[in-house]
Structure 1
């Protein structure tokens, strides 16, 4: 270090040229120290990083909007805003005096303290911990690099959701910290897996790249099939033989034969494209009043291209004399009921 440098110029140079921006950690830590008299505990810094982690907020928002909301509403403790709203209102709040509010708040805090004492704070959030400290930093780094900083089940990148190093064979079932027993999962997939499952997801990144040389849908551009929408795991294609204007197909990028071979991440990706395309069609064409959706699985069901695909077919009033029965018309004599 040049001794003639001031602290300001040294830090300015570090921030401009040397600070690693592979993640948010270094600038958050430095900014916090600058704001808090130059010192902080690891816990303080962890909380500062947490403020920037929207994935954690989404996780707990999902918790809040689930059973807690349902139970509190059922017992008449709260009411919520219009359908789809995330606003909570304590029923009768204005009827409480300030002292009554304080006493009720204290009751809640006592209940909370007793619960934590009984269960232990570590046990309460064990599902969010997953024994991270059992794996050394260098091994953890190798696992995440090997996974290309993506969850090896759902494919989500570390920039969108925190990744955890998971034991394929759980430690309490004899699993070790050997690199071959570790995989990268986002906290949601890891929480669902828990310690009862030894599924190995490390091959999924390669599986997502699976294509067949002679498959129409594996190579849409080469087969003059227009791609309308795309996300990480799926495509939405224009149907070259539409049964109605706007007819399109949602497919996985990975080559699998039928709908039943799709994994949850691919189903989510396909559903997202179907919803997005439906909204566009409805906006562009006010004559659309409904949709048929369906998939053919197997030759006996009419499948002709053996790459899983889901049809989205716009419908309009009067496009058929008798639309009743919809997809039941695969058996025409049983469509009317």
Structure 2
């Protein structure tokens, strides 16, 4: 995952929101944007962020909490769809350096899980390989669009 120091504005996620940095966007609305993690733990690992910058959980505008969670729910539902067939998801928000937050723009991880995937999940935490993000993004966007 990129760090804030890699960004011309100091926040790579703000650059994604402003479309000055590339991302495989799978969902977007007026409040949030969701895109594939460039170092995924599992195929379809998605980050959901508020469009308005906040560094961590304590400074997210409370009015953005519901749209942020609703977008994470949409992504989770799509990951359980026919293209990904996840049996469940892990939802995580790393808040602060001690919690392993590496990009200091609030973001929710939505990570697909399958029954019996403990070994591959643990391996994914260590290796974090991207795979074909363009193809994965196309599949996930289609699953999200099918929800409407």
**8 A contact 2:35–2:46 mirrored in 1:** yes
SS in structure 2 of the partner of residue 283 of structure 1: coil
CA–CA distance in 1 between the matches of 2:36 and 2:25?
6
Unpaired runs of 5+ residues, structure 1, are 1-211, 324-337
**Which residue is 1:302 aligned to?**
100
**Which residue is 1:281 aligned to?**
79
CA–CA distance in 1 between the matches of 2:108 and 2:89?
12
**Residue 117 (structure 2) pairs with residue 319 (structure 1):** yes
**Which residue is 2:44 aligned to?**
246
CA–CA distance in 1 between the matches of 2:43 and 2:22?
18
Q: CA-to-partner distance for each residue in 1:252-287, whole Å, 9 max, x for gaps?
A: 111110022112221111111111112222123363
Which has the greater radius of gyration?
1
Unpaired runs of 5+ residues, structure 2, are 1-7, 122-148
- How do 1:163-242 residues align onto structure 2 when only pairs under 5 Å count? 213-220=9-16, 221-242=19-40
Report the alpha carbon displacement of residue 223 of structure 1 after superposing the two structures with TM: 2.4
Aligned Cα RMSD in Å?
A: 2.0
- How do 1:90-101 residues align onto structure 2 when only pairs under 5 Å count? none
- Report the structure, 1 or 2, having the larger helix content: 1
Question: How many aligned residue pairs are there?
Answer: 112
1:278/1:322 Cα in 2 relative to 1: closer, same or farther (>3 Å)?
closer
Higher RCO, 1 vs 2 (CA within 8 Å, ≥6 residues apart): 2
CA–CA distance in 2 between the matches of 1:230 and 1:287?
22
**8 A contact 2:44–2:84 mirrored in 1:** no
